[in-house]
Amino acid sequence: MKTSKYAWMAAAVLALAACNNDEEFTDNGPAAAQITAGVSGPATRAIDNQWEADEIGVMVTDAPTSNMETLYKNVKYTTTSNTTSANFTAAEGEGIFFQDADEKVTFAAYAPYQKTDGYAILPGTAADGVVSGSTADQSTREKQKAFDYIFASGATASRANTTVSFTGGNAFSHKMSRLIIVLKTSTTDGFSAEEVKDGTYTLEGLNHSGTFNVTTGEAKAKTTETSTQVESWSLTDYSLETDDDTQKTKTFTSILYPQTYTALTLKAVIAGQTYTAALDGIEDNTLVSGYSYTYTVTVKKTGLKVESCTIASWTEGGSYNGDATMK
């Protein structure tokens, strides 16, 4: 009888402990979301294929049973990683926390992060998530990164599985367009590599004013009614420029709002002589979101020769040919 009494007491203690454990599992305060992210395609940023200690804005797009969608519209997460896939963390106590135990929550994210006065406020002058900007000056990598917009959506998580994975089909993708112009010469073309390097280059026909919507990932140039195309945009002064002495090439890389243009014209002034070349061939004269277009131009004293336009990194943009004239 005494043994039975102690056995009953032990069973009661175990039952109470089990009850307490259940309560701790279902009611131990909000669980924090864990963010991991990659970028689809072979390139993640404007130039190379790695995160660069980036900041992203994360939002809840669907929360069926809680108010998470209202609470979390623009939460900053950061990484110190310089790899192609990275884990992101929020400042202590400032991340996203799951509210309901059984709720499946859907997330979206964008970069670069746009600062707001609170997690529940969207960026933009009207707090609608629409951010205006200009690509007119992108002479440094940091300036380009400021509008190299990327976006991810569709990742889901819950309190039982707190990892929000922006990878695979839910990975970040580029939302701007990229235009690369490679200038090359040789000893048989009449100009030296130094003369090509010392030349000045402009591009006519682009629209540099545009918007990015952090909630949908849509990037687009403003209409001609609200923004005019730049007649003479200096690649030499305002586009990211690199030289390759081995290949005797000079490369201008530009990040642009997706847009439809009337015509693109490259103008070069080399050794006091002015050359022009029409950059033709892109379908419907439209720079498409996520696509990268590379024109290779051979600089000759008889004129500029526009060779095939090929894809470099992002999504394939096509291959084009054209001719040039000398003024």
Q: Quick check: helix, strand or coil at residue 123? A: coil
Mean pLDDT lowest among 57-61, 133-137, 229-233: 229-233
pLDDT, position 326: 41
Q: How does residue 25 score in pLDDT terms, banded at 50, 70 and 90? A: very low
Q: How does residue 228 score in pLDDT terms, banded at 50, 70 and 90? A: low
Q: What is the C-alpha to C-alpha distance for residues 324 and 199, in angstroms, rounded to an integer?
A: 17
Q: Where are the domains of the chain?
A: 32-112+148-174, 177-326
Backbone phi, then psi, for 237, in 5-degree steps? -95, -30
The pTM assigned to this predicted structure is 0.84
Helices within the chain (DSSP H only)? 2-26, 68-71, 141-145, 193-197, 235-238
**pLDDT, tens only, 150-194:** 999 999 999 999 999 999 889 998 999 999 999 998 778 888 888
- Highest CATH level, class, for 177-326: mainly beta
Q: How does residue 29 score in pLDDT terms, banded at 50, 70 and 90? A: low
Q: What does the block give as tokens for 76? A: 């900053």
Topology of domain 32-112+148-174 in CATH is: Immunoglobulin-like (2.60.40)
Using alpha carbons, select from 284, 279, 285 the residue that is nearest to residue 297: 279
More confident of the two residues 49 and 244: 244
Residue 289 has pLDDT above 70, yes or no: yes
* Contact residues for 230 (Cβ-Cβ < 8 A; gap 6+): 136, 204, 205, 206, 207, 208
CB atoms within 10 A of CB 233: 19
- The percent of residues in the chain predicted with pLDDT above 70, rounded, is 80
Using alpha carbons, select from 97, 297, 284, 280 the residue that is nearest to residue 181: 297
H helices, E strands: number in the chain = 5, 26
Q: Quick check: helix, strand or coil at residue 208? A: coil
Contact predicate 33/63, CB 8 Å: no
Given this chain, do its domains 32-112+148-174 and 177-326 carry the same CATH topology? yes
